[in-house]
Amino acid sequence: MPTFESSRDIDEAASDWTARLDRGQLTPGEQAELETWLQGDPRRRGALLRAQAIALKSESAQALGSRFDPADFAPPAPLSAPANKGGISRRRTFIWTGSAVAGATLIALGVGMPAAGTTISTGRGELRLVPLKDGSTVMLNTDTSIRIRDGADERRVTLLKGEAFFSVARGRMKPLVVEVDGRRLTTGQATFNLRKLPGAPVNLLVHEGVVRLAAPSWGDQRVVAVKSDMNLDLAEPRLFRPSQPERPSPVSSDAVTRGLAWLEGKIAFEGETLQAAADSFARYSDTRIQIRDASLAREPVTGLFAANDPAGFSRAVAAIFDARMDRQGDTIILSRDRHSNKF
């Protein structure tokens, strides 16, 4: 099965290309090799721009145009890595080097298969990797809870809240069933993301493989097959209508990459409003972004940002949209009010 190329891998390759470009003009063969590399993944062009910015002594995580200020992306202080049982966990840490950006890393703090019925959770801003006995893994995003039940006939993982990325290994010792809101998902081998957030439909995004979803109503034997690079919002069982079957939608590789950016400790936006971006940051930090200008809240945002750095994001937004940033305790205030003191 194809391996997901991490942002760190791409950043390191981009750094190598930047060094080669700095040494002088590329040969025709090297130029062709660079073009082939750039066309292989849509993230690579942006990574090369970031690496070139870093080479100019920028600490930017994202080139944001002609008004970009490297100080907007000063790295946050690393958070502590508390020991946890039942999985691998640490608080998000972003490592900044002179040549490339390393994404969030995981430190092994003790591995053990949870007993039947065990609930595993993450706090705000925390990642946890949970290994299963059959070689499958479940990565938990911020503020997420799952319950694992290891029965005689099947292993069942229930997503109680939040977001989780499942990597299901082939040749399982017993069937693995993933449940969310009473819905059952099964697969022989796949990697997929499952999200359950307040006020939004449960969402399934399949990266590789096929995930099968049974219909929620009793007696309905239909199964929806969600394949690689497909997305599906799950209908609530009480709202499901057999006459209106669920239909997965194909998504671009860019959209899949953005949807899985949290695995690298980042948040990706592609035209979302600033208010939606502020709501996304609230999932990862106790610091809240408050937008007091309605027109500013509607401004579209595009870029890749460190999930645990709402202050750096807000400084960049203030610079790009000619806004003001003030801080009051754990609240960051963004406004176009000319009478406020710029942070």
Q: What is the pLDDT of residue 294?
A: 93
Residue 276 belongs to domain spanning? 265-335
pLDDT tens digit sequence for 231-263: 999 877 655 555 566 789 999 988 998 999 999
Integer-rounded Cα Rg, in Å, for the chain is 22
Q: Report, as an integer, the average pLDDT of 136-151.
A: 91
**Residue 132 falls inside a structural domain:** yes
327 lies in a domain? yes
Q: Are residues 273 and 230 in the same domain?
A: no
Does 343 fall in a domain? no
Domain boundary among 240, 258, 276: 258
Is this model's pTM higher than 0.75 or not? no
Give pLDDT, residue 157. 94
- Does residue 108 share a domain with residue 253? yes
pLDDT score, position 330: 93
- Is it the case that residue 138 has pLDDT exceeding 90? yes
Task: Give yes or no: residues 60 and 124 share one domain.
Answer: no
Compute the average pLDDT of residues 124-143.
Answer: 89
Domain annotation covers residue 79: no
The answer to whether residues 321 and 250 belong to one domain is no
Same domain for 26 and 53, yes or no, is yes
Q: Say whether both 59 and 144 belong to one domain.
A: no
User: CA-CA distance, 254 to 257, in Å (whole number)?
Assistant: 5
Q: Check: CB of residue 175 under 8 Å from CB of residue 165.
A: no
319: alpha, beta or left? (left if phi > 0; alpha if psi -120 to 50): alpha
- Report the amino acid identity of residue 233: D
Residue 199 and residue 129 in one domain: yes
Are 17 and 137 found together in one domain?
A: no
Q: Are residues 158 and 130 in the same domain?
A: yes
The reply to whether 243 falls in a domain is yes
> Same domain for 46 and 180?
no
| pLDDT bucket at 211, cuts 50 / 70 / 90 | very high
Residues 62 and 149 placed together within one structural domain of the fold: no
Residue 286 domain flag: yes
Q: What is the CATH number of the domain that holds 331?
A: 3.55.50.30
Q: Is the pLDDT of residue 89 over 50?
A: no
**29 pLDDT above the threshold of 60:** yes
Tell me: the pLDDT tens digits for 157-200? 999 999 999 998 776 666 788 999 888 999 888 999 999 999 89
Phi, psi torsion values for 142, nearest 5 degrees: -55, 145
pLDDT band at 219 (very low <50, low <70, confident <90, very high): low
Distance CA 124, CA 143 (A): 5
Task: Pick the last residue of a domain from 206, 225, 258.
Answer: 258
Instruction: Note whether 253 and 287 are same-domain residues.
Output: no
Confidence of residue 35 (pLDDT cuts 50, 70, 90): confident
State residue 90's pLDDT score. 30
Q: What average pLDDT does the chain have?
A: 76
Determine the pLDDT at residue 108. Answer: 28
pLDDT of res. 299: 94
